[in-house]
Each structure stands twice: as C-alpha cells, then as structure tokens.
Structure 1
Amino acid sequence: MAHTVSEITDLRVYPIKSCRGIQLKSANLTRQGLEMDRRWMFIDTENKFITIRSKPQMTLINTSIDQESDSLVITIGHDKGKQVKVPIHPSQEWLDENTKDVSVDIWEYITDAYAYTDPNMLALFKEFFEEDVRLVVKGPEPRICRGNGDPKRLGRTETVNFPDVLPIQIASESSLAELNSRLKEKGESEITIERFRPNVIIKGGEPWSEDSWKTVRINGDSSYWTTLKGGNLHAIDVDVVARCARCTVPNVNPDTAEKHAHQPWDLLVSYRRVDEGIKFKPCFGMLCCPRNEGNIDVGMRFEVMEVTDQHRYAKGF
C-alpha cells in the first residue's frame, strides 16, 4: 500500500467536552493532545460527565478565546448576555478562591477536577440544562490512557484530560467526501467534519486508507535524516493507536442541536463496521498518541510512515 503524503487542512480544539469547538490556524500539540482540548467538562449531581449523547443541546454552547484576558469565553448560543469567562491559566490562589476540589467520573475512571463555584455561572447553566450541573476543569492528577492506550499495549504511559479515550483524533477529508457521496445518493444532506469532532483534519489519500495507519509524521519527511534526527527538529511523530468507534453523536446537527433519527449512523453501520474488536460500531477517524510535542499549523506536511493490518479496538476506557 502506498504511503499517504498529504497536508493539514484544519485544526480544531473543543475546550469543553461535547460543546462547540474552535478552529485554529496554529496549535500547540502536546503529549496530552492539542492545548486546551477537552480540558473542561460538565458534570451532574453525581459528579458524572455529561455529553451530547444525553444532552444534544450542548452543541449550542459556544467557546472562544479572549487573548487579552487569557480567558476561555463560554456563551450560550450567540447571546452575549448569557456569557461567562474562566481563566485559561489560573493561579492556585484563584482556584482556591473560586473552585472546589471534586472527584469526577468519566467512563468509570475517577479523576480530579476543580468545580467552579460562582453562583451566577451555576444559575446560567442550570437554566440551560434544566437541572443542576457544574463546570469543571481538569486537576493535576494524571489520567492515564486506557484501552488501546494502556501502557502495557502502547509501551509507554500517556495521559489525557477529558477526551473519551486518547489524546487526539485525526480525520480525512477524502473519507468524509466518500461518506457524503453515499448520503447524497440516499437523498440526504451532506454533513461537515465537525459532526465527528476531530482535532487534526487532513486532505487524505484514498478514502478510508487511514484504517491502516500505524505511525504518521507532521512537518517532516521520510528521509533517513528526518527519521534519525527528527528532521528539521520540529517534526512530530504520532502513533496511530486505534480506529475511532462511533456512537450516534454525529447524527446531531452542531448548528441546531437537532438529532437526525437515522443518518449518518445507519449508513455508517451498513459499511463501516470494519474493526474486529468492536464489530457492533462503525468507525470514522483515527485515535492517536503523539510521541513528542511542538507547534503544528494548517498547511503542514502530513506523511504516513508505517501501516498495519493489526488494528483491533480494545474495550475499556
């Protein structure tokens, strides 16, 4: 199989799990994922995480960055009257005054977080969710990757903030185009890549060729020098650890929060149940663990270095 040589066309972070993301031209890729990605999330009264799966309206919560105040801006819809800000890099003193330490449950993994205590914020989100919820930001305790990212499988220990499974998801425009062609044949509207909430989007080669990626390189090439020295010293190598198994979240229109009764789930189920480890779910996109860190930009070279036919989804988060 020919190795894909492509380029990055889009970068996205989703600061609050299941809420609207932010498109970027440049981002800092860390071992934990793109900086700020899934660093915040909502929890219920039992301290369990909340997502679009049960609350599709979460896609109407918009996020943006206020560079001047170094804050994450959270807006309900586009109503600036329903807006709050939280510091991106708070001091411990600020956290002590404005948050409460909590243990949160994400896929039965208990980890630490800081829950915001501002009464105006709590009232705003209670009105929106129609129940008591709290916004939390990840604490310093490492949340070690499980499943395919388990240290025994990966060969090293990697950690994440609040993604479901692994640090980053990479998706291919060519695969989305193939899916959209099938949707159009069925008389359905095309969908955007945002439905799948990836971090790194590439032009892609043959549709679905990503199924066999094993390692990829950003901002480098496949020469011996690059492999030996990390190329221009800014190349980032990424282990492609698993296919991304899908639930029905992509059925939710991110602009309206309306959930389609069938698509694209039904279509994906018909031909994208390709992983022997999780045969009841279709796959779109690849879950990955960076080996090193650095800045990545839209337009950077993206090259597949190794492929495999051994991908098998490992259950367990």
Structure 2
Amino acid sequence: MENGAVLWGGPGIDAAGIFLLVLTLCVFLLPAFLYFPPVPPSKSDALLQTHTRVGILSPQPAQQSHHRASGTAKVSSPSSKSPNIPATIRSLWIYPVKSCKGIEVSQSKVLPQGLEFDRLYTLAQLKSPFPIGLDASDAEKSGHKWEFITQRQYPLLATVQVDLYVPDIAKSRAQAFKSSDSFIVIHFPWRGEGFRGAIDWVSAKLARGWRALPEKEIVLPVTFPSQHEIDERGYDYEPVTIWRETVTALNMEADLPRELSLYLGADAGYQPVTGFQDAYPLHLLNLSSVQDLDTKIAKDDSLKVLDPRRFRANIIVDDIPAYDEETWKSVRLKPGPSSRRQASSFHVSCRTVRCKLPNVDPDSGFRHPVEPDKSLRKFREVDEGAKHKGCLGMQLTPLFDKTESSDDMESWLEVGMSVEIVDRGSHQYIVQ
C-alpha cells in the first residue's frame, strides 16, 4: 500500500472487462431467454400440443375479419342494392359462453338447438327473495334461484375472451396421446396484488409479448360431464332462469375461480346445458340494416361507428337492401358450386326485439349511456307486438327433411353461401 492506494494482483479485471463479460452473456442468453421464457406453460399452450383452436385467427382480427372487410364503417345507400341479387353470408359467429366474446368461424354445423358449440354455458347469479314479509313461510324465506347474467348488467363480460379447442389427429399422433374431447378456455384480465402482481406482469410479457397483460384461464369441457364426474366434482342440478323461462342446468360453481366474480363485480356461477339462447336457435343480421341505422345515430368519441358485433348475431348477411330480411318467412342457404355442402333450410320466426345490450362496446366493455338503444326505439319501433321497443335482425329456426334420428337433424353453414328466399310475409312479435 502506498499513499492509501490498494493494488490488486493477477490479470487486470477492471470495470470495462466486467461490462464486456456481462454484455457477452446477454448476447448469448437473451435469445434463449426470449424463445424459452422461464415461465410455466399456460393451459392453452398445453392444449395446443394435441388440439387446434377453432376460429378465424389473425394478428388483428378486428381489422381482418369478414364483417369488417365488408366495409361497415363506409355506409352505403340501402336503395342502391338490388333485391334481385341474393344475400350472401358475410360471417358466422358462435358464442360458447353467453354474453362473453364470440368466435368467428368460416363454417359451422347446424343442430336443432342452433349452431354447434353455441351458448353451451351461461354465467348465472344467485338471487334470494329479499325483502320478504314476516309472515312468509320457511320455504319462501329459504328460497333462492339462479338468474342468468349478461352484458346488460355486467358490461365487462364483453372483455372475457373465449377460445374453443377441438382434437387434432395429426398432433395427437405426434404426441402419442389420443384425445377425443373438445374444450373451452376462458381468459379474463387479472393481476394479483403486491409482489405477486409484479410477477404476473413480467410473466405475461415474457410469455406473450410486450403488449400482453396478466390474465387468468379457466378450462371447461364441451361434453356434458358423466355422472361419475358430477359426483366427484360436487356439481348439482339446479333451475336457472333465462328471461321468463326456467331450465334445469348443471351448476359448476365449484370450478369457478373467485377472481372472475371479483373482476365482473358479481357473485356468479356457471351452468352448462346445450342451448342457452334467449328464445330461438339462431340470430341473423343484415349488414345493410346496421349501416342504415348507423347513419341515424348521433356519434361521439365513445361511439364512432356502429359495429355489427354489438348485436351478437350468428349469421351476418350482405348484398341486399336494408330491412329486406324482415319480409322473409322461410329461406334456404345454398353453397357455391365448388362446395360439397348441401343447402340448409330455416324458418324465419320473428324479429329480434333489442334490449340495451348493444350499448356495450364489444372490445372495451364500455357501456354507452344511450346509444344505440335510443335510436333503435326511435327509428325501429316497427313491430305491432313490441310497442316502444326497437327491432333489428331476425330469429331463425332450423328445418330438417328427416327427423328419425339425431344424425338426420344436422346441416352446415359456411361463409359465402347465398340466401334463397322461399317465402315472404309479415311478422308480429308475441311476448312470451
């Protein structure tokens, strides 16, 4: 030591050397870190090893899906469309979990209860009979019932992503694992508190990219559980009310994570049964009708264009005048000459009477305070059976030539099919 300085022996390792060493490690380790992030695989990642995700997939589905490609934001004159040109199926949608995000598909099997995989589950909320009188019976005091919930009460349902995975034979062979079951995966934004939340945030970025946000997944079976599974999981059959109808469904609340209830702001369970549609199996929407209504709505920063997804239709058609669909009584949807599909027949049952659900933005879950409900009531009070209500779209019931077996009662729809109008007539909504 001389003049208070410390001398180090051995080869010279200074700050520059340490920096160079760290930089070298980063160059070699960063690619591996990015391609193989140190986070556990998600349930979706595991399913992709043996299954295929159903739906029209693209990096930006909002810009590239069929209904957007038709030019919703560019309103065309309804009178410019000839009624002699057949309507065309522009897009098809299924909604495996009622009121959550839909899945756009290019084709779908048609069953008596609607499109395959459509409205298999609904979220429901337990309602108790309060307030009740002091002289009420014990049965009345202890009574409760499940009521379905939608975006009308809980607009954040619009932000709950739903994916459908079906078995892939090629993948199963490669993995030497055979699976014949299909699954629904529900994703919703969720970040834990404190240090756990920071880990969730970092894990999401590493696993799915910089723009990804933390989320929670729930895996649900498509096939109805066996009695053994029902007993093992502790499920119960209970009545659930949808509007004025009550059906018996399987309560799978035991599998519902508390985080979903907290996210929605509701005490909820979910109950599966085939067919949780509001009234009829399928809902058809004419894109020209949406465009015409769009011209009548006062726009603001939160509603710049009327997205047809707000109306949650299964079938969206185009190439016909606005509201022409309201004169249909029965139709046949016919495939093109290159398709191997057969035509599908439908009874056009009634108009769709709209509630306030279309006020919810399907991307953000923001519920507009007045539109399009105000404009629907003002300009679309067109049905004698639905006074002071707005109507848009039509309800369909599938028709089958043979009904001897369940295999006979199947048909197919695909994007590009043309609509043959078999019969026209008037409609009057009948309140159920």
Q: Does 1:70 align with 2:204?
A: no
Correspondences of 1:1-317 after superposition (within 5 Å): 2=83, 5-46=86-127, 47-68=146-167, 70-77=182-189, 81-92=215-226, 93-98=228-233, 99-119=235-255, 121-138=256-273, 161-183=275-297, 189-219=304-334, 234-292=342-400, 293-309=410-426, 311-316=427-432
Contact 1:236-1:294 within 8 A present in 2 as well: yes
CA deviation after TM superposition for structure 1 residue 97, in Å: 2.5
Report the CA distance shift for 1:91/1:177 in structure 2 as closer, same or farther (over 3 A). same
CA distance in 2, matches of 1:211, 1:268: 15
**Secondary structure at the counterpart of residue 295 of structure 2:** helix
Once the two structures are superposed, residues 37-65 of structure 1 have per-residue CA deviations (whole angstroms, 9 ceiling, x without a partner) of: 11210111231111111111111111111
Greater alpha carbon shift after TM alignment, 102-111 vs 15-24: 102-111
The RMSD of aligned alpha carbons is 2.3
| Structure 2 stretches lacking a partner, 5+ long | 1-81, 128-145, 168-180, 190-211, 401-409
Q: 1:84 to 1:215 in 2, by over 3 A?
A: same
SS at match of 1:28: strand
Q: Say if 1:4 and 1:281 are closer, same or farther in 2 by CA, change over 3 A.
A: farther
Larger radius of gyration: 2
- Tell me which moved more, 129-138 or 86-95: 86-95
Residue of structure 2 equivalent to 1:153: none
Decide whether the 8 Å contact of 2:120 with 2:222 is kept in 1.
no
Taking the aligned partners of 1:118 and 1:185, their CA distance within structure 2 comes to: 44
> 1-side partners of 2:354 and 2:244: how far apart?
19
Q: Normalized against structure 2, the TM-score is what?
A: 0.61
Letter in 1 for 2:155: P
Q: Give the share of equivalent positions with the same residue, in percent.
A: 28
Residues 26 and 296 in structure 1, CA contact (< 8 A), matched pair in contact too: yes
Question: Residues 287 and 4 from structure 1, CA distance in 2 versus in 1: closer, same or farther, beyond 3 angstroms?
Answer: farther
Q: Which amino acid aligns with 1:128?
A: Y
Q: Is the 8 A contact 1:4 1:304 kept in 2?
A: no
Distance across 2 between alignment mates of 1:117 and 1:207: 43
**Aligned in 2, Cα 1:117/1:272: closer, same or farther, shift over 3 Å?**
closer
Q: Distance in 2 between matches of 1:185 and 1:71?
A: 40
CA contact (8 A) 2:152 2:357 kept: yes
| Offset of residue 183 of structure 1 | 3.2
Going from structure 1 to structure 2, the CA distance change for 1:184 and 1:4 (only over 3 Å counts) comes to farther
Paired residues of 1:104 and 1:110 also in contact (CA < 8 A) = yes
Cα distance in structure 1, aligned partners of 2:304 and 2:215? 33
- Taking a change above 3 Å as real, the CA distance of residues 289 and 4 of structure 1, as seen in their structure-2 partners, is farther
Structure 1 CA distance for aligned equivalents of residues 259 and 411 of structure 2: 37
1:22: how far off?
0.6
The one-letter amino acid of 1:82's match is: K
For 1:58 and 1:204, how far apart are their aligned partners in 2?
A: 32
Q: Which has the higher strand share?
A: 1
Q: 1:186 to 1:19 in 2, by over 3 A?
A: closer
Aligned partner of residue 186 in structure 2, secondary structure: strand
Paired positions, count: 283
Amino acid at match of 2:252: Y
Contact 2:120 2:276 in 1 (8 A): yes
Do the aligned partners of residues 79 and 295 (structure 1) sit closer, same or farther apart at CA in structure 2, a change above 3 Å counting? farther
Conservation of the 8 A alpha-carbon contact between 2:332 and 2:346:
yes
CA contact (8 A) 2:164 2:184 kept: yes
Distance in 2 of aligned mates of 1:278 and 1:234: 36
- Conserved 8 A contact 2:341-2:412: no
Distance 2:272 2:328 in 1: 32
In structure 2, how many angstroms separate the alpha carbons of the residues matched to 1:48 and 1:247?
17
What TM-score do the two structures reach when normalised by structure 1? 0.82
Shift of 1:184: 6.8
1:80, distance to aligned residue in structure 2 (A): 6.2
Match of 1:157 in 2: none
